[in-house]
Structure 1
Amino acid sequence: MTNENKLETAKLLILFLVEVAIELLLGFIFGRLENAGIVIPTYLHVFILDICLLIPVFAYTLKKGDAIVEAFEFKKIKVSTFFFTILLVIVAQPMVMLANVVSQFFVPNVMVQSVNQFATESVGLTLLATVISAPITEEIVCRGFFTNRLKKVFPFAVAAIISGIMFGIIHLNLNQFCYATVLGIIFAFVNRASGSIFTSIEMHMVFNGLNMCMLFLMNAAMEAAGMDFAEVAEQSRATSSTLPTTAIVLAILSIPSFFLVRLVIRAIAKREGNLETK
């Protein structure tokens, strides 16, 4: 690695630490406000955080003199790529679910434990924050900025893994770290296949949308039955003997899932004229 690349890597690492520090600082501030009796809704927390996370990466890009559209790969995708990207969300599910289940050997499912809070807030604004705002911001930061800059320093696979781990870390909990890292790596490869950040943004939105809708529906069903969804889920996780079996089944399903993901990504690359790089 050249000295120039080492310097760039160091700058990117520092910038990533700044992003994490922003999250921790905002979490601390909102926590103090809550202790003082001022509760910040989840959606407002997300909106404020998203704005703060975007500032450093755009500032760095502008300081470097890079064009925003090219640097972040804001490029149109074909209609067929749009639908193949939705298919990619489906075929990748076993690998993502496996990572989620493995994490639950150690910690609770964060989103399930948060569903009661989501349900007491504005459902529309919560969905806007988690399904629209957060995916756009996180993809701009993790793929548009970090992946695209790391791939100029490292082989693409290494850049994808590093940015995937970064994506996991910014969730600040082990449960989401595990499956977000898997998703982040897939997001990086599908973006390379399409040549556009819009594919990972779409995948991220679809993934979050499906999960949030499922959470709200299951929570409503549990409430109708007079049960607390988060409490039942945690009791099941902590005492159930089916978790290892679920992990084994998902591990088996993840093998064809891996190859199907590769096939769909290759199909996207072919349609976008980027097959030679795959």
Structure 2
Amino acid sequence: MRPLKRADGIGVCACSPKFAGYGKGMVIRMNSKKANWAFLVTILCYAGMVFAVANFFPLFAESLVFSNLICEIVVVLPMLVFIVASGENIVSFLGIHKMRFTSVLMTGLFTFLSVPSLTVVNLFSQLWVENEVASAMENMNAGQMPFGLLLFSTGLVAPVFEETLCRGAYYHAYAGSGRRIGAMVMSALIFALIHMNFNQASYAFVMGVFAVLLLEVTGSLWSCILYHSLINGSQMMLLYGAFKVNPNVYSEQAGTITPDFLLYAVGAYLVVVAVTLPLSWAVLVWISINEGRQGALSCFLPKKALPGKAEKKDKLVSVPFVLALILCIGMMTGSFFRIVEKIILMIR
């Protein structure tokens, strides 16, 4: 997604293929159909990895850092193979371009302003499910792990791998269909699903939407990586500090976090969101102007239908995606692994 200046000063949308970093007249070989097949292969590989680690490499499962690294490699590798096999230029296709330093600083401000929106969704999800990150960190005694290693894993490795996959690969593959809003939703949904739990999936989806908007106004995947790193890094520092002081802080406080408390917290944060969300949009507009990508956000705004023959666009959802979605939900609920265990017992 190369930042380009508008030629005529008005009416040029930065979401057109020319402004998406593909190059004028360039054919997008990695399309939505291939992306859906890549997603299905990814989920199958992930399921195989979980089974292999649980049965043959249990020590990896006990390490937060190693298990995270294995998961990241498994979910990214299939898509990269599909991209290479499609003949795409990886750097251009993923949108790895430079961005201005002032835009980098404003990305930090956008991150700060977007956190309350993510917090609202996170709190709301905890009415039904537990805080998966805090629970996992407590179970693995994360407060006693080297902080630098944890920060490297969650604040650098995860953002680079996941943004390369979801905003770089999936979003651009789906956006090639001409359905920008659909591409944003699909890439955000995949980003949510690969976390494999309902708590993280809830706010990961919203985060994925914000990241796509940031990608469009900057034209660079680096902005998404920075955004993701700042969020992960800041949250890791807060959680690590809490577990360092009290290794059992989550389980001790879990009983005091009642549904009423969560609802009050959601209400309080909604007041904050009413202020920060419009400011976040204003920051995005500023960045788009700073990067010479005026009109980048217009692709995500409602438009009046023009008279004449509608342009035929590729479908985003296909059978492989539906199968992958079913597998993801099965793994998130635990039903998939229960079925697999029963099949193995029957075979034995």
Please report the TM-score for the alignment, with normalisation by the length of structure 2. Answer: 0.72
Match of 2:114 in 1: 92
Q: How does 1:127-142 map to 2 (within 5 A)?
A: 127-142=151-166
Q: In 1, Cα distance between the equivalents of 2:40 and 2:114?
A: 29
| Aligned match for 2:204, one of 180, 185, 190 | 180
The answer to whether residue 261 in structure 2 is matched with residue 242 in structure 1 is yes
Q: How does 1:1-278 map to 2 (within 5 A)?
A: 8-33=31-56, 40-116=62-138, 117=140, 118-223=142-247, 228-237=248-257, 239=258, 241-278=260-297
Aligned length: 268
Relative to its length, the structure with more helix (as a share) is 1
Q: Spell out, residue by residue over 1:28-73, the C-alpha distance to the aligned partner (whole angstroms, 9 max, x if none).
A: 22222466x6754121122222222232222111112111111001
Partner secondary structure for residue 241 of structure 1: helix
CA contact under 8 A between 2:118 and 2:206: conserved in structure 1? yes
Query: 1:126: how far off?
Result: 2.0
Q: Spell out, residue by residue over 1:106-144, the C-alpha distance to the aligned partner (whole angstroms, 9 max, x if none).
A: 011111112221234333222211111111000000000
Cα–Cα, structure 1 residues 90 and 19, in superposed 2: closer, same or farther, change >3 Å?
Answer: same
Moved more, 84-93 or 247-256: 247-256
**Over alpha carbons, which structure has the higher Rg?**
2
- Calculate the aligned-residue CA RMSD, in Å: 2.1
Which 4+ residue blocks in structure 1 deviate beyond 4 angstroms?
Answer: 37-40
Cα–Cα, structure 1 residues 121 and 75, in superposed 2: closer, same or farther, change >3 Å?
Answer: same
Partner secondary structure for residue 52 of structure 2: helix
Q: In 1, Cα distance between the equivalents of 2:98 and 2:266?
A: 38
Cα–Cα, structure 1 residues 86 and 78, in superposed 2: closer, same or farther, change >3 Å?
Answer: same
% identical equivalent positions: 22
Cα–Cα, structure 1 residues 25 and 120, in superposed 2: closer, same or farther, change >3 Å?
Answer: farther
Letter in 2 for 1:66: E
Moved more, 117-126 or 172-181: 117-126
Q: In 2, Cα distance between the equivalents of 1:105 and 1:18?
A: 33
Letter in 1 for 2:260: S
CA contact under 8 A between 1:96 and 1:183: conserved in structure 2? yes
Please report the TM-score for the alignment, with normalisation by the length of structure 1. Answer: 0.89
CA contact under 8 A between 1:114 and 1:230: conserved in structure 2? no
Cα–Cα, structure 1 residues 58 and 39, in superposed 2: closer, same or farther, change >3 Å?
Answer: closer
Letter in 2 for 1:276: G
Q: In 1, Cα distance between the equivalents of 2:199 and 2:61?
A: 25
